[in-house]
A and B are shown apart, each in its own frame.
Chain A
Amino acid sequence: MNWSLSPDWPGNFWLRLIIIAVVIIAYVMSSVIMFIWMERRVIARFQSRLGPNRAGPFGLLQAFADTVKILTKEDIIPTLADKLLFWIAPAIAFVPTLMIMAVIPLMNGLQLADLNVGVLYIAAVSAIASIGVFLSGMAGNNKYSLVGAIREIAQLISFEIPMVLAIAGLVIASGSMSVSGIIEAQNIPFILVQPLGFMIFIVAILAEINRTPFDLVEADSELTCGFNTEYSGMKFALLYLTEYSEAVVGSALIATFFLGGWRGPLLPGILWFAIKMFASFMFILWLRGTLPRLRIDQSMRLAWKGLLPLAFVNLFIIGLKSVFLPDLSLWISVPAYILISLILVMLWAMFMRKERQSFGG
């Protein structure tokens, strides 16, 4: 069975554009609802609680109930806030997350735009979302939010670089900069071909989407939710939505770049994509349920002293391999590279531990 969408279906260019755009938005939104439900239920199970179980079967309708509650709240704008920025910041934060989804194929051919520089586009657009978060933190004229906003920008600058370098490794490995090209090249998922890149990417993406252990921007126990402290009502709902659609996009990127995207046997591509996406999110939730938060200087140290050198080494190794041994059998290259990655990560962990001890720990 061939589950694919032909590139010229249904004939009219604009019609295709509109249909696919609607499908993508619907997909992201329904994923967001599922993610919110999953987050609350799964975290509850981690904590030996039940989680929401009143609204609908298994509490599935909890997200809807919460939405109704949030939307009926009074929409407060602080007197000293920068009103224009306060209004548009949630939108600036939200729109780019949807824009990233435009280049990610949900299944074979179900992609809004198959850009030949899709990877570059993703790196560029994902930075805009952080600016939205920064603006929303700055506009509210709240000191907690301001600290959160400053942390957001510091984190964005630091983790964007290893993330892009990790993707660059994929570009070399696949020989393509378009997202569909990268998926096309994954006859075996890149998590095996690029294990080191995967580790770097997943840490960087956690920081990009402000998830534990890099949730310094929100840091509910320090900054009382950081950038969104002053928001309420619809605008808060939009920021909340942003947070989860960032999580959707983050897990979608992990699924696309490292787990083979829509590719998989038997089931239709869109289902495989969803399975991989939810599995990635499950991993993120697992971390959230277990790990404490890093301090800002520790997170910066991790990015600049840890991830960045590792990302360069990763790029160097994959470059060497594709120049000198382009035809090396996967049976040799995959175990060898996994071994190299493990050794590198061990060395890196030892280095970071030494580093911590030198800081008095």
Chain B
Amino acid sequence: MALATEQFILNIGPLHPSTHGVFRMRVTLDGEIIQDVEPVFGYLHRGLEKLCEKHTYKQNIPLTDRLDYVSAINNNWPYVAAVEKLAGIQVPQRAEFMRVIMGELQRIASHLLAVGSLMNDMGIFYTAFMYMFREREKIIDLLEMVTGQRLLYNYMRFGGVSMDFPTEFLPALADFLKIMPGYLDEYDTMLADNEILLSRTKGVGVLSAAAAIDASTSGPMLRGSGVKWDLRKDSPYSVYDRFEFDVPVGQNGDCYDRYRVRMEEMRQSLRIIHQAVEQLPAGSEKTSVPLRLRPAKGEVYTQIEAPRGILGCYLVSDGTEKPYRCHFRAPALINLTVLRNLLIGQKLADAIIIFGSIDISMGEVDR
């Protein structure tokens, strides 16, 4: 006699330790195997894009911090660059280098958090997470030195950055650059060859290169699938064409590759910061911009390589001091669209890891 069975619907989230914010997955399970997933988001929707239309151009800079609150500096960048392009503001060389240094520091901090919480999802009881937080703390201290803030820095301005580096910053940064590679090696000895980690992540959540391109994913998600596409290299913005660095790519597109890509990117970011500090020119950190900025009528789209992928800003100006329309291309949201295809047929425990390896930030997904 066959037992009557039925499918089992489990709501993971919106409040769940591993959903990295308020994300909800409505999972249909057959035992432990996932039959269907319905991602539900919007719990953190704050109407940021609409808010941008109600504020002046300058007032919008702090709002962009709140997009992806884990990498605030990188979020200022496309918006500031868009306004600069629209109003034809020239950015001093020193400011461009400072943006690169701060942006790359922020990228390392963001990747540390991503890898740390991925390990947490995998069940290393906070050890890897705390280790990575130890180094993230050092980065935040550095950023605090310059901006006075620890999470939402509100750092960039039209035509430059808000503050020049204080005198103690560059020596502290040199110290950090000296010790950080050792810490990265420490993580690798701890994690890279761990048999359980390999068996949990290898071959799990495979995203083929074609599927990654079709879904227009970007960032470590795309590069983990073996597509060598990094805006810093392929369509250099700011002063990225002056630095020498590699674009790490994975082979299989599984969770392990995405994790390895993030680890490698941290090393490359360190290389970039090294070169940027060496080439840092003297000069002013910002140009003067009219207080009531009224860019000419028109529209503009700029994009940068944020830690989570390509972050774009589409801006329409109607000649007043408020933007007519401001839209952000949020990499986390677009990377998330492949979630359903990745999860179906996997185990429940893998769902958490695959979701963690996408590395979303709900502030950016819901906006």
Residues of A within 8 A of B (CB): 43, 46-49, 143-144, 147, 150, 212-213, 215-216, 219-222, 224, 288-298, 349, 352-353, 356, 359-361
Contacts and interface: CB of A to CB of B under 8 A. Distances in A.
A356 B198 CA distance: 9
Contacts of B232: none
B32 A147 contact: yes
A292 B203 contact: no
B124 A291 contact: yes
Give the residue among A47, A212, A289, A292 with the most B Cβ atoms within 10 A: A292
B202 A222 contact: no
Contacts of A356: 195, 198-199, 202
B348 A147 contact: yes
Contact of B199 (A48, A288, A361): A361
Interface in B130-145: 130-131, 134
Given A48-B134, A216-B349, 16 more contacts: A47-B130, A144-B10, A150-B31, A212-B125, A222-B18, A222-B348, A222-B352, A289-B125, A292-B124, A293-B122, A293-B123, A295-B350, A296-B32, A349-B195, A353-B195, A361-B204
B202 A360 contact: yes
B243 to A, nearest CB: 33
A292 B123 contact: yes
Nearest to A225: B17
Nearest to B18: A221
Interface in B22-46: 29, 31-32
Contacts of B203: 359-361
B33 to A, nearest CB: 10
Nearest to A215: B123
Nearest to A301: B199
A295 B347 contact: yes
Given A143-B8, A295-B347, A221 B202 contact: no
A220 B130 contact: no
A221 B121 contact: yes
A353 to B, nearest CB: 7
Contacts of B352: 221-222
Contacts of B127: 43, 46-47, 289-290
Nearest to B252: A360
Nearest to B32: A296
B4 interface: no
A288 B200 contact: no
B196 A221 contact: no
Contacts of A290: 124, 127, 190
A296 B18 CA distance: 18
Contact of A213 (B8, B119, B121, B123): B123
Nearest to A289: B127
B123 A221 contact: yes
B317 interface: no
B148 to A, nearest CB: 27
A47 B128 CA distance: 8
A54 B203 CA distance: 45
B187 interface: no
B194 A292 contact: yes
Nearest to B117: A221
A297 B347 contact: yes
Give the residue among B10, B196, B203, B204 with the most A Cβ atoms within 10 A: B196
A203 B346 CA distance: 26
Contacts of B130: 47-49
Nearest to A288: B125
Contacts of A147: 10, 29, 32, 348
Contacts of A49: 130
A292 B203 CA distance: 17
A43 B123 contact: no
A143 B197 CA distance: 27
A295 B122 CA distance: 9
A216 B349 CA distance: 9
A224 B352 CA distance: 12
Contacts of A212: 123, 125
A47 B131 contact: yes
